[in-house]
Structure 1
Amino acid sequence: MTTSQEELLPGTRRALLHRIAVAQAEGRAPSLVAAVVRDGRAVWHGTRSSVDGHEPDENVQYRIGSITKTFTAVLVLRLRDEGVLDLNDPLEKHLPGTGVGGATIVELLAHTAGLAAESPAPWWERTPGSLRPELSDVLGEQPLLHTPGRRHHYSNPGYTLLGALVEAVRGAPWEDVLRGEVLEPLGLHRTSIHPRAPHAGGWAVHPWADALLPEPLEDLGRMAPAGQLWSTTGDLARFAVFLSEGDDRVLSAESVREMRTPGAPAETADVADGSTYGLGLQVQYRSGRILVGHSGSLPGFLANLTLSVEDDVAAVVLANCTSGPLLGAVGADLIRIVAEAEPRIPEPWRPLRDVDPMVLALAGPWYWGTHAFVLRMSADGLLALGPLAGGGRRARFRANGDGTWTGLEGYYAGELLRPVRRSDGSVSHLDLGSFVFTRQPYDTEAPVPGGVDPEGWRGID
């Protein structure tokens, strides 16, 4: 990945700098660094500091807190893709004896396993991990607060269990597996378990005075898979590209897409806020955009990684203060600034290389009852079904190789689209999950459920 300040227009660069300058000043952060990613590489880096001449660059480490969870989720998805486990497996199958083994792996990933948000006192983020040497110390006497699978309840101990799962299956420490399977292949050489110079110091800023207090730096021990990592804007920019495109050395594009897909039932407050959770990634709907990523915080540090796949823009923002600037809002604004000032230029339209006459015969208008739909062939080999006009159910379909197609999203995700042919090979109708789509509204020559009045269409007497 290369960094080029010239790839954004001067006005865009100034707007980005203004946004982080306001965040650093109003949020009273000792330092704040940010990066913007577009077209698969970092195109802008900005920094603000309270100390003249000591502005950190893209190689200075900050603690990234719960963004660590996304890295842990990648390791678990790798195990799934290798066939070592199934996401619907109960934890007990691979990590027995925890006392919460009935929860499934996917529930832990999506924070729907019913576990408590935190480990028992004392507060794990400001105390040594040596106080919690065993998983039982992390989980406590009452680890379950809710029925598994019923609600989203963010849980740090849940990701401790996922880290322990990785260790049990791989037979190696979580940090070693992470380094060998994710950090090194992706070239994230400035991401580490412990800080490596140059790195920022963590500070608390007095709420009513412009005064600082150093925060303790603790090794989180067992809780490391939930929040231990240090990283830089340069490394996290590379990681953002991976979360958008995938990398077959680590995780396929299909699997990272799965991570970005909501996997948790939204609470009422989440619906109002437009937020939910995927598999190791937060999903938000903000100002007309779907944003995915993760926030992070530990005493002395704030972090945020956000990407808009549709706009092909991502943002990373890091600060070294316990509280202050709202980095999620800053990251969303950095994406908005670039997307609105310099909207993504679409790829040129290109026709299909080969046209299958049997598939081409399916294209065009279809009717579900009196609802008009259109089925289109696209150059990516998919079929797309959607309303001829206005809103309604839409989905793309992937060919199964036997003349049928499977829905990829929305109401028809996983549903089978089956063209039903007459004896002469022509298409009579489409069967989609028992719905009959015909070439004419209530076509009398197709097996419309309930039949069609033989007198046909008529006016009012």
Structure 2
Amino acid sequence: MSSPHRPGPTASDPARDPAPPHDVSPEDVAPDGLLPATRRALLHRVAVEQAEGRAPSVVGAVMRGGRMVWSGARSGVAGEVPDAETQYRIGSITKPFTAVAVLRLRDEGLLDLADPLERHVPGTPVGEVTLAQLLSHTAGLAAETPGQWWERSDSALRPDLASVLGAAPVLHPAGRRHHYSNPGYTLLGSVVEAVRGAPWAEVVREEVCLPLGMTRTTARPVAPHADGWAVHPWADVMLPEPARDLGVMAAAGQLWSTAADLCRFAAFLARGDERVLSADSVREMRTPGAPPEPEGWDAGYGLGLQVVRRQGRTLTGHGGSLPGFLAGVWLSTEDDVAGVALANATSGPGTGVLAADLVRIVAEAEPRVPEPWRPLTEVDPALLDLTGFWYWGTAAVVLRLAPEGWVELGPVDGGGRGSRFRPEGDGTWRGLDGYYAGETLRVVRHEGAVSHLDLGSFVFTRRPYEPHGSVPGGVDEQGWRALP
């Protein structure tokens, strides 16, 4: 480590207090704490990864309900005792931070994700690719830079974007497939700098990290921090890894962070923070933006975030690696639990699997307790009259009121097409998710009475093929009949 162990937890830091006695009852555990058996299972999992992965050190942490509720570490090097405030290099977990910076500019109206790169960073050979394609790794760009292994070589070898892209930066047609690209995120860092007029690292720290309380996330290491090591594959000996400054490639993997700070970031990715990005914008980040590879239908990529299916659970987050370091952070929004894992080894420990397992352990041992049902405190009678059965042709759907003041429209049995809708303030409703995401729902009235619902040209009536002329193509005048 770079400096002696920090002081231990204090009474004012409940997330890091020692576990309660083994005879404690669940009711005696703080609402944001974990049961002793769960804490032991988490520490055991971290210990197994450190031992079997032959890592100098491993730190794990869990976020639940918006805050870190557990952290633990194991170290095999004398004098190195890391904790949740020890910095590790997080490699490509830097990419979600770059994505947040880009989306902030979008939400401020300073750019559009459909903008071609040329509009903001002119003069590159890939100016026609869009910002959305760069964010989702669908721009077709090469995975790495030309020349020497950029993560371990001097950044002076790549002084500008031309040296990052090289003579043949495009491998696939833009928009056709997901192909992970570090140079693509370098371009996004240049977009941030061009539009904001400030260095990428400054923008990320001032606009993302500090508002979220992530004071230990920095572009350069700040003590106490771990040193990076390579562990010999066939002998228990180590070699120090160089901690190179990435220069122009910084937006793809420069950051250092801690388990505690990454728990704060995971909490932000779960629910948003209006000081940084809204809940709608972080939900957009978590939504896959490209089809997965044929061999990986359980994995995808959103806007700066990986999306995977693991043991029946959808996880969003990112993995990271640089010589000497491995990192992983995974979030289950359904369980409101995130796992963080950091290690200072070039290879060996599976930090991504470990982070996912920390989520699983907590979610299975202490399932999320749902919020109690509560009746609405007020309701618009005209809106209440819209609830109940509607028919698209002969298919029955149900419109329900949601607690947020939204409405939900979906099949009676819960399968098939359905979405939540948010009021737009002009009498219409905008689809938030599912098949009708982005579509407009309108209530059509005739002589003051509700005639039907119009949803993207689909007509929903109170009775199947109601004979009042609102159904496209009309309804047979003889109506429903039995056949002789």
- Which residue of 76, 98, 119 maps to 2:102? 76
Q: What residue is the counterpart of 1:324 in the other structure?
A: 348
5+ residue gaps, structure 2, are: 1-12, 20-32
Q: What residue is the counterpart of 2:15 in the other structure?
A: 3
Q: Distance in 2 between matches of 1:50 and 1:348?
A: 46
Q: Per-residue CA shift, 1:34-87, capped at 9, x if unaligned?
A: 110011110000111113563311111111000011111111111111211111
Q: What residue is the counterpart of 1:392 in the other structure?
A: 416
- Which residue of 338, 358, 366 maps to 2:390? 366
Q: What residue is the counterpart of 2:283 in the other structure?
A: 257
Q: How far 1:247 moved relative to its partner?
A: 1.9
Moved more, 115-124 or 53-62: 53-62
1:422 aligns with 2:434: no
Q: What residue is the counterpart of 2:55 in the other structure?
A: 29
Q: What residue is the counterpart of 1:403 in the other structure?
A: 427
Q: Per-residue CA shift, 1:92-121, capped at 9, x if unaligned?
A: 111111221111111111111111100002
- Which residue of 189, 202, 215 maps to 1:189? 215
Aligned length: 458
Task: Within 5 Å, give how 1:48-67 maps onto structure 2.
Answer: 48-51=74-77, 54-67=80-93
1:307 maps to amino acid: L
Q: What residue is the counterpart of 2:24 in the other structure?
A: none
Q: Retained in 1: the 8 A contact 2:106–2:113?
A: yes
Q: Distance in 2 between matches of 1:67 and 1:253?
A: 20
Q: Per-residue CA shift, 1:141-179, capped at 9, x if unaligned?
A: 111111211211110001111111111222222112222
Q: What residue is the counterpart of 1:209 in the other structure?
A: 235
Q: How far 1:348 moved relative to its partner?
A: 2.2
Q: Per-residue CA shift, 1:396-450, capped at 9, x if unaligned?
A: 0111223221211111111121222231x22222121122212222223353334
Q: Distance in 2 between matches of 1:25 and 1:276?
A: 31
Task: Within 5 Å, give how 1:121-132 maps onto structure 2.
Answer: 121-132=147-158
Specify the SS of the correspondent of 2:415. coil
TM-score (norm 2): 0.91
Q: Retained in 2: the 8 A contact 1:429–1:446?
A: no
Q: Please provide the CA RMSD for this pair.
A: 1.7
Q: What residue is the counterpart of 2:458 in the other structure?
A: 435
Moved more, 443-452 or 62-71: 443-452
Q: Distance in 2 between matches of 1:2 and 1:146?
A: 51
Q: How far 1:208 moved relative to its partner?
A: 2.3
TM-score (norm 1): 0.95
Specify the SS of the correspondent of 2:15. coil
1:81 maps to amino acid: D
Q: Distance in 1 between matches of 2:439 and 2:274?
A: 28
Q: How far 1:184 moved relative to its partner?
A: 2.1
Q: Per-residue CA shift, 1:203-243, capped at 9, x if unaligned?
A: 11222222222222211111111001111101111111111
1:292 aligns with 2:316: yes
Q: Retained in 2: the 8 A contact 1:362–1:375?
A: yes
Q: Retained in 1: the 8 A contact 2:227–2:324?
A: yes
Q: Distance in 1 between matches of 2:446 and 2:109?
A: 41
- Which residue of 134, 138, 141 maps to 1:108? 134
Moved more, 400-409 or 100-109: 400-409
Specify the SS of the correspondent of 2:55. coil
Q: What residue is the counterpart of 1:156 in the other structure?
A: 182
5+ residue gaps, structure 1, are: none
Q: Retained in 1: the 8 A contact 2:469–2:475?
A: no
Q: How far 1:390 moved relative to its partner?
A: 4.7
Q: How far 1:245 moved relative to its partner?
A: 2.0
Runs of 4 or more off by more than 6 Å in structure 1? Answer: none
Task: Within 5 Å, give how 1:240-279 maps onto structure 2.
Answer: 240-271=266-297, 274-279=298-303
1:47 aligns with 2:47: no
Q: Distance in 2 between matches of 1:435 and 1:189?
A: 51
Q: Per-residue CA shift, 1:316-345, capped at 9, x if unaligned?
A: 100111111222221111111111111112
Q: Distance in 2 between matches of 1:393 and 1:446?
A: 25
Q: What residue is the counterpart of 2:160 in the other structure?
A: 134
